[in-house]
């Protein structure tokens, strides 16, 4: 637990809280978007908001891969899993995401589909090796953090000639989402960003520089521990007070400006940009997601099974789309806590523990 507990210390939190209280300009309001679900989770789980002055507001961003996946893609995955010849391998947090007709992977599994919860892409390869008579499909999701392991698995499958393995690719790109939020027709008032931490270990801090420059927004790459979040908030507040808008790196213990170039090269070798991809809440965004390159088409589940494009509509009244853009808060949604609960989620933000609604409902609703 060394190197983790250090970033959760109460005495340091108190000192930081004091520094923040002394630094904020009481005359202004600070709207900080924490980009990632990991930040949202830390803010709620550790009660970070309690330590911040009233005029510092966290706006929850779209950086939760489970939350931004559109319903149609879950429907696709369920259709794949329902094929008798398929074993679908998925990360566990997708299991409860609502699909069309109140379906979910969890319900499909209960209905007899062979769906396996895995912890790494290596588990999916192992299942493929052990079940040569079955088609093993890996339901790949996530931002730049989880893309390199998918690339490794594809290359390994190719090297081993594992012909029964394929990937249903839903990897998406962080900078595209940031751009979409800033370019929205009715942009949400955001003063500054707490930038992604794990994603930035791969892509580096450089891709954000253009946003700091072009949109005049301070960005601080922020780790996922509660002290990281507070320290980054302080750095953003200082930038705003001083009228600066730069990319700063609070998470310097893991992130460099260039990122992990080996991982980047691997991703470039296996994947290419899709012309566009649908994001829940943000709609169709150009150049925002990846697909397998032609050289690896044999491992592309979309081609192997000819998966249809499904346009699915979200539950009426669900505010997930607006919440993912930062335009609304979970407590603004009429479904929250009435028909939509973690037990019976209507929208994706209530599913993942990183989703703003789940975090708010599980940890924060006592504040009313």
Partner 1 sequence: MTQLIDELFIKHFDNDLLRQHNDQALFTVPAGRLVISTDGHVISPLFFPGGDIGSLAVHGTVNDVAMSGAKPLYLAAGFILEEGFPLADLEKIVISMAAAAKRAGTPVVTGDTKVVERGKGDGVFITTTGVGIVPEGVNISGDRAQPGCAILLSGSIGDHGVAIMAGRENLQFDTTIVSDSAALNSLVADMVAAAPADIRCLRDPTRGGLATALNELAQQSGVGMVIDETRIPIKSEVKAACEILGLDPLYVANEGKLVCICNAAAAESLLTVMRQHPLGRDAAIIGEVIADEHGFVQMTTAFGGRRIVDWPVGEQLPRIC
Question: Which of 53, 82, 100, 118 lies at the binding interface for partner 1 (CB under 8 A)?
Answer: 118
The least CB distance from residue 200 to partner 1, in Å, is 12
How crowded is residue 105: how many other Cβ atoms within 10 Å of its Cβ? 23
Whole-number minimum distance, CB 14 to partner 1, in Å? 6
Min separation Cβ 42 and partner 1, Å: 9
Q: Which of residues 148-207 bind partner 1 (CB under 8 A)?
A: 198
The neighbouring-strand residues paired with 141 are 170
Site for partner 1 (CB under 8 A): which residue of 32, 87, 125, 141? 141
* 362: contact with partner 1 by CB under 8 A: yes
CA distance 76 to 275: 19
Question: Given the complex with partner 1, which of 240 and 359 has the nearer CB atom?
Answer: 359
Among 53, 57, 103, 117, binds partner 1 (CB under 8 A): 117
Per-residue DSSP letter, 364: I
Tell me if 114 contacts partner 1 by CB under 8 A: no
Among 19, 31, 47, 209, binds partner 1 (CB under 8 A): 47
Assess 92 for contact with partner 1 (CB under 8 A).
yes
Taking the complex as a whole, the smallest distance from the CB of residue 49 to partner 1 amounts, in Å, to 7
The count of residues in the chain is 368
**CA 198, CA 205: separation in Å to the nearest integer?**
11
Helix-strand-coil split of the chain, %, nearest 5: 45, 20, 35
Cβ 113 vs Cβ 82: under 8 Å: yes
> What's 102's DSSP letter?
G
CA distance 13 to 240: 21
Tokens of 262: 């080996």
Helix or strand or coil: residue 266?
helix
Positions touching partner 1 (CB under 8 A) are: 1, 4, 8-10, 13-14, 17, 38, 44-51, 65-66, 91-93, 95-96, 106, 117-119, 123, 141-143, 145-146, 198, 226, 342-343, 352-354, 361-366
């Amino acid at each position: 637990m060394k190197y983790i507990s250090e970033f959760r210390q109460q005495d340091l939190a108190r000192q930081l809280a004091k520094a923040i209280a002394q630094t904020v300009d009481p005359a202004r309001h600070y709207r900080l978007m924490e980009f990632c679900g990991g930040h949202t989770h830390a803010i709620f789980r550790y009660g970070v908001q309690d330590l911040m002055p009233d005029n510092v507001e966290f706006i929850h961003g779209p950086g939760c891969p489970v939350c931004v996946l559109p319903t149609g893609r879950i429907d696709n995955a369920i259709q794949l899993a329902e094929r008798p010849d398929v074993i679908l391998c998925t990360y566990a947090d997708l299991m409860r995401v609502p699909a069309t007709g109140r379906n979910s992977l969890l319900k499909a599994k209960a209905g007899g589909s062979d769906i396996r919860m895995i912890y790494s892409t290596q588990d999916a390869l192992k299942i493929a090796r052990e079940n040569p008579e079955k088609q093993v499909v890996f339901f790949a999701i996530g931002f730049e953090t989880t893309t390199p392991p998918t690339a490794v698995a594809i290359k390994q499958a190719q090297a081993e000639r594992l012909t029964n393995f394929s990937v249903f690719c839903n990897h998406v790109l962080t900078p595209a989402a940031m751009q979409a939020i800033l370019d929205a027709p009715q942009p949400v008032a955001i003063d500054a960003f707490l930038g992604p931490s794990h994603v930035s270990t791969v892509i580096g801090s450089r891709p954000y520089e253009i946003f700091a420059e072009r949109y005049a927004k301070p960005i601080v790459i922020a780790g996922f521990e509660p002290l990281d979040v507070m320290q980054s908030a302080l750095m953003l507040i200082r930038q705003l007070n001083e009228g600066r808008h730069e990319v700063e790196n609070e998470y310097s213990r893991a992130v460099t400006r260039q990122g992990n170039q080996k991982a980047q090269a691997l991703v470039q070798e296996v994947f290419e940009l899709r012309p566009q991809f649908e994001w829940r809440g943000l709609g169709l965004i150009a150049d925002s997601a990846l697909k397998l390159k032609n050289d690896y088409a044999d491992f592309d589940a979309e081609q192997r099974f000819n998966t249809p494009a499904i346009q699915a509509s979200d539950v009426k009244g669900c505010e997930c789309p607006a919440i993912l853009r930062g335009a609304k808060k979970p407590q603004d949604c009429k479904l929250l806590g009435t028909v939509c609960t973690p037990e019976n989620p209507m929208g994706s933000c209530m599913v993942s523990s990183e989703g703003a609604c789940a975090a708010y409902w599980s940890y924060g609703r006592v504040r009313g």
